[in-house]
A and B are shown apart, each in its own frame.
Chain A
Amino acid sequence: TSCVIPSGVHLNLRASHKNDMSLVEVEEANPAMASAPIAPYNSSPLGNSSSPNASRESLKMEPLADVAMLPGEERVIDKDIIYICPFNAAVKGKVFITNYRLYFKNTDSETPVTLDVPLGVISRVEKMGGASSRGENSYGLEITCKDMRNLRFALKQEGHSRRDIFEIIFKYAFPLSHGMQLFAFLSQEKYEENGWNVYEAMEEYRRQVLPNSEWRVTFINKNYELCDTYPTILVVPYKATDEDLRRVAAFRSRCRIPVLSWFHKENHAVIMRCSQPLVGMSGKRNKDDERYLDLIREANGTTKLTIYDARPNVNAVANKATGGGYEGDDAYQNAELVFLDIHNIHVMRESLKKLKDIVYPNVEESHWLSSLESTHWLEHIKLVLSGAIQVADKVSSGSSVVVHCSDGWDRTAQLTSLAMLMLDSYYRTLRGFQVLLEKEWISFGHKFASRIGHGDKNHADQDRSPIFLQFIDCVWQMTKQFPTAFEFNERLLVVILDHLYSCRFGTFLYNCESARESNNVRGKTVSLWSFVNSDTSLYINPFFTPESSRVLYPVASMRHLELWVTYYIRWNPRILHQQQSPVEQRYKELLAVRDQYLKKLEELQLSDSTHLTNSSTPNAATPNQHITHLQTPF
């Protein structure tokens, strides 16, 4: 317990900055590894003086070993422990557990080996071995994480040390199962910008030139009365009355009626999202629903509305048995139905499980490619991407589309948001991407709580599924194929995924807006975007070239899709080295050289102009002009 480093604020400050990044780093790696992988993202030294640190300084945090704790973080226990590192040998050290994280630091050698794991990442804790088993490290603890790694520890037999640590981890990793609060509600972090203001529904619709003569904003769901998993503000066809909406809601699974997601400013085609119609075994029809879809079609004079059912045909048919189904030809004569063959959440979960098997802890070597193929992970990515391409293509050719799956919160969110990313360059900016996530995923009720299982001990819950991860992977594939089209970099995607699990921020908590509202998430927790936007320089892609009118069509072929090694295999120190991007490094160097030259030139010209002031030309406009000319010699 003698962990308070007296050396003071300075050290503390630096540590806390490091801590912000710690999730991206590999923690158990060798000393060289700790610095090497981060190189491509090295921020300028200026980055250190960003606001979060300043605010933390005032809070006077207690350091935890050599990292600073977050404001609101509290120490629970620390213990001598042996970390059984899968890449090196067993490492002796000390584990510190707080209400937010598990931190491990070795004590047996100078080469630091550390682990910094937010407890939210833990999906399962198990005791391994014990009195009956043999061997040195027989009192084991196995921690399964949601972020593609497992941690193994061994404890001493004496003093029930394993029991203590197990119980504490179990309690603090799964607070909701123990009547406690998630860390996001305990955190006292302060940031200059309030990330909760990144997305304002009305503002976003106005950006899309909505409402207009074809589309209106409705507040019918103000109190979540129409649909408890939808947001309060919805955009619907101008001609559809609120009464119409209520009747349509009766025919759509969980009342998730078709509402507007995106509006094409030039051709006025739209992307609508909803859940499946309640056709059932008897093949029920609903005149209001049929008329409603026709109103959507009419809005921009689309001759045939295209309905994309994300599911495989057979699954859609099978859904009739439970009351669901799809839009039949006879009922919806002005619509064509296309099945996109994307599988359900269970298939995706199993696929990721297989993927983990071949990459952690050791990468399957001898038959890497066929093992990778057998996980089907990339094939699912291909299907999701090619579905989104079809949606985007249809819309850009001027036809409106309706997208749904069963409930319209998993595959539907994937498809609409990816199509929007292809169609609208705004969503490819750092801020636009945050808006996209807030809108299509968070406000429209992707069930983050169920899919991720925040703070819940039930690791085998059938509702868990890596749908959002799959979406982020698709985004990554797009950024790989279009390295200049996105303002943000890979690091942002990794940070988003890390905090999807960490429970440090309120952004991804709960299943829908209504639940978030009743738990006052906005008031009681910090938004992930507060954190991200406090130092945007870390997440900027230097190659970004804004190009507004461009639709991006990725190539959804296995020839181009690759495994996102720097995410899925990032814990492996051997692989991680590849992360360095010499291109990016070189580009940044050149940018610096250019700026240096420009500055020099400006100085020279300024001194020229002061020489010339006597003659006549009075102000500094001349050098500026000259410089702009130089900047764009093409």
Chain B
Amino acid sequence: MLSLGSGGAKSTKPSFVSYVTPEEIKSEKDPPKQEKHPDLLPGEVEFCSANPILKYTQDDLSQRGVFGTLFCTNFRVTFISDEKPQEKTDKTFKNKLYGENDIPLMCVDHIYGVYDEKRKLITGGLVKNKYPSKMIIHCKDLRVFQFSLTFSKEEDAKKIFQGIAHHCLEEKSLKCVFAFSYMGTPSPGTDLSFCREMQWKQETVMFDSPEDWTQEMKRTKANCRLVTENENFELSQRLPKYFVIPLTIGDLFSYQGKGLPIWCWSHYSGCALFKASFPPVTQEDGDFQKHLDTMINAVAHNHLYSVKTEDLSESLPNIQDIQQSYNKFKQFFLIENSTDFWLSDVKWFSSLESSGWLDIIRQCLQKAVEVVECLEKDNTNVLITEEEGTDLCCVISSLAQIMLDPYYRTLMGFQSLVQKEWVAGCHAFLDRCNHLHQKDKEVIIACSFLPVSSDAILQPEKSPLAQSGPLSCPTVWDWSVQFDSKAQNFFFNPLYLEKVKHDRAVRKPHKPKHQRNLSLPSTAFKTPPKKGFFKDETDSLKKMLRVKRLSRWRGSPDAPTATTREFFESWQHRPLDYHGLLLPCLDGPAVHIWMQRYLRWIPEVYILGGGSVAVMTKLMELLSQVQDLKRVLEQRDSSQAAKLDHRPYFQHRLLSFDSSGRLSSSFPFAYTCYRSFKPIIPTGLMQSLMVTDSLASQEDEASSVVSFV
């Protein structure tokens, strides 16, 4: 293994190219090795390759590397090591489509080249003739790859560099997206049928048919109108095929597809949440105002003639701000080596703050809480608006729905929500994913609730299929394409408790299974739980008489007004019901970064044998124990033999990890290489804390008289 200095732009010597020539390396090895090729997916085509390429291993204090071949295909950049595949890597959460050394082209964020010790961002212009000695790839999923190109033949190196740069960075037509070339059919083998039958009986609601929408309206008892006029996108390209609007809206076409209040969700009280883009501004001012009035009136008519409107583009940071903040934020996680890690550790908190990311998260959650307050406490309709109506509107409306509706906290429910608000809801994934990680936000928030039953939320982002527009492609929700059933189990939150059914006869403590038994969303929610909800009939009556139209109803997000605080506190004081309303605490110390996602690839932060996974493992073990016991008990009860439980009790069983290795806190999301049990000792501690106070030089004991015996 070769050991290098602190690589990257900082090293003062040229990389170790002078020590060994490519020829030497070749000759060292045994007779011309069998050429290696990646296992191509159906529809995947190899463009170019180069050998030998040195891939630096990141998870080590000294920079080392592995030799191998680098390939570029129409789906990914992939590296195949010359060394025997190491079995030691943790495969529990393996993606079947791509592995540790695969970078889907769509996942590439930035490429840097190191030219004569200078690091340059690769853009179209730089690709020309000269190729860098080292190529650094930053991925959208925050992985960092470093390849040395100096060992392979010049033309190979050039080709692979240009190939990768071209396929990752050049503009391309939608047709080139791999999802269109992908010929993979969901393997009809054991995996799928197994999953279908045993694991999830219900499917994700795709919201691509009138039925799905009707069903959803029924489930939430909405009294709105389904629009089918846009089936062929005659109304607008920017509107979904099917959508739902307030009953009172008559003339659809006068809106030119803009400014239509689109129904999101109905509260059991009858009030509902709507979102809208701005009406076209090209018209006369009067028309604009008229449109606005019609819009608001239509929403108000939905329930008790009350409405609150909120212009999100005014009260939340705009898309550019969010993008800028995220760009800054993600830099803290794109760490190339240990030195960088410890240097940045010193100012960690202030760096986080300076990116503003957590504050944006807080503001979004805060806004969602305000929306929830209107629906839940005041029972007024809410209309949120925004320029396009498909960015922050999606964030706020889906957050509010997660807080209010327990169905969306189930795995299927959550997937349906993403489908409803984001995919069918026309969030511009294609545009935004190139610039904007809008979903992150939604996603990070979902995770801050414990009972949310989804660890899966990471996946759609890096999936090659996530951006599939036409629905003829396999959808991401068919997880079996990417993960085997064992890995899919990680999607479940073992803490999630299904709602205790109202079997009056048997009030068992809690059923030790945690997959929600919803046959169909529609039946599961016939009677929304009233427990813990505000309900005040007289109040509603009073409201009949007044219309609230507050274009902006709250001040700055930093200082939520007393009433929201009150709303939160009164919620806080009631016993917590995981199947009722959930509100997040937004105080400074309560908002954390999502470690498992952002620090996923940084070995320095792995706690060997620790982290919350240690507790989860214990919990899983206990769960499977309880299930085994239950089964044994049931089997013994011969009279019940016929009714034997066919539920997939093995789910947790699969998660009982053998105790051979200690799990790292990064489990199961990172590829853990079992490092030696050596601790990681922070470096650069001295720089970290320069206390300039005079106190620092003081003696411990004020009256320090040292005996000079």
Binding site for B on A (CB under 8 A): 30, 32-33, 36, 250, 253-255, 278, 280, 312, 314-315, 318-319, 322-324, 341, 343-347, 350, 363-370, 372-373, 376, 378-380, 382-383, 386, 389-390, 392-393, 405-407, 410, 462-463, 481-485, 543, 545, 550-560, 562-563, 565, 569, 574-575, 577-578, 580, 582-583, 586-587, 589-594, 596-598, 600-601, 604, 630-631, 633-634
Contacts and interface: CB of A to CB of B under 8 A. Distances in A.
A370 B622 CA distance: 41
Contacts of A250: 709
A545 B346 contact: no
Interface in B679-703: 679-682, 685-686, 688-689, 691, 693, 695-702
Contacts of B686: 312, 341
B630 interface: yes
Contacts of A378: 349
B699 A322 contact: yes
Contacts of A350: 693, 695
B184 interface: no
B331 to A, nearest CB: 14
Given A324-B706, A343-B691, A601-B632, A593 B347 contact: no
A573 to B, nearest CB: 8
Given A392-B679, A598-B629, A370 B702 contact: no
A533 to B, nearest CB: 25
Interface stretch (B122-130, B306-314, B582-590): B582-590
Nearest to A559: B605
Contacts of B702: 462-463
- A392, A484, A631: residue with the most chain B Cβ atoms closer than 10 Å: A484
A583 B578 CA distance: 13
26 contacts: A280-B708, A323-B708, A344-B698, A350-B695, A363-B587, A368-B353, A368-B587, A376-B689, A379-B346, A382-B682, A389-B679, A393-B679, A406-B704, A483-B610, A483-B614, A550-B609, A555-B605, A557-B604, A557-B605, A558-B348, A559-B602, A586-B619, A593-B510, A594-B625, A604-B636, A634-B656
A481 B681 contact: no
Contacts of A485: 609-610, 614
**Shortest 7 CB-CB distances between A and B: which pairs?**
A368-B588, A553-B679, A32-B573, A558-B348, A323-B706, A373-B349, A597-B629
B350 to A, nearest CB: 4
Given A341-B685, A406-B699, A32 B619 contact: no
Contacts of A550: 609
Contacts of B701: 406-407, 463
B622 A590 contact: yes
B377 interface: no
A557 B659 CA distance: 27
A473 to B, nearest CB: 15
Contacts of B628: 630, 633
A574 B560 CA distance: 14
Nearest to A555: B607
Contacts, number: 257
Contacts of B678: 393
Contacts of B354: 370
- A347, A350, A555: residue with the most chain B Cβ atoms closer than 10 Å: A555
A574 B569 contact: yes
Contacts of B606: 555
Contacts of B347: 373
Contacts of B587: 363, 365, 368, 574-575
Q: Classify the secondary structure of A's interface with B.
A: helix
Given A344-B700, A583-B615, A597-B629, A556 B682 contact: yes
Nearest to B352: A369
Nearest to B630: A597
B604 A555 contact: yes
Contacts of A33: 573
Contact of B509 (A369, A393, A592, A631): A592
A557 B681 CA distance: 9
A134 to B, nearest CB: 26
Contacts of A557: 341-342, 345, 348, 604-605, 680, 682
B30 interface: no
Nearest to B704: A322
Nearest to B348: A558
Contacts of B614: 482-485, 543, 545
B618 interface: yes
B19 interface: no
A343 B608 CA distance: 29
Contact of B590 (A552, A558, A575): A575
B558 A583 contact: no
Contact of B706 (A278, A341, A343, A589): A278
A580 B699 CA distance: 42
Given A323-B708, A574-B569, A484 B618 contact: yes
A312 to B, nearest CB: 8
Given A343-B689, A386-B682, A389-B679, A594 B610 contact: no
B689 A380 contact: yes
B599 A368 contact: no
Contact of B450 (A390, A577, A582): A582
**Interface extent on B, as a size class?**
35 or more
Given A376-B691, A484-B614, A554-B607, A390 B629 contact: no
Contacts of A376: 689, 691
B125 to A, nearest CB: 37
Contacts of A364: 588
Given A483-B610, A578-B585, 8 more contacts: A314-B697, A390-B681, A554-B610, A559-B605, A562-B592, A582-B578, A594-B622, A594-B626
A570 B60 CA distance: 40
A601 B628 CA distance: 12
A253 B576 contact: no
B354 to A, nearest CB: 8
Contacts of B612: 483, 583
A582 B626 contact: no
B563 to A, nearest CB: 15
B552 to A, nearest CB: 20
B695 A563 contact: no
A346 B636 CA distance: 68
Interface in B414-469: 450-451
A383 B624 CA distance: 41
B625 A630 contact: yes
Contacts of B709: 250
Nearest to A447: B701
A344 B695 contact: yes
Contacts of A36: 573
Contacts of A551: 677
A347 B606 CA distance: 30
A164 to B, nearest CB: 35
Given A485-B610, A574-B569, A569 B589 contact: yes
A580 B610 contact: no
Given A367-B353, A631-B625, A600 B345 contact: no
Contact of A559 (B348, B450, B510, B696): B348
A372 B681 CA distance: 23
Interface in B52-109: none
Interface in B568-606: 569, 572-574, 576, 578, 585, 587-590, 592, 595, 599, 602, 604-606
B640 to A, nearest CB: 13
A89 B699 CA distance: 44
A582 B636 CA distance: 33
- A367, A376, A586, A633: residue with the most chain B Cβ atoms closer than 10 Å: A586
B497 interface: yes
B626 A597 contact: yes
A343 B345 contact: no
Contacts of B374: none
B611 interface: yes
- B342, B450, B685: residue with the most chain A Cβ atoms closer than 10 Å: B685
A598 B569 CA distance: 41
B299 interface: no
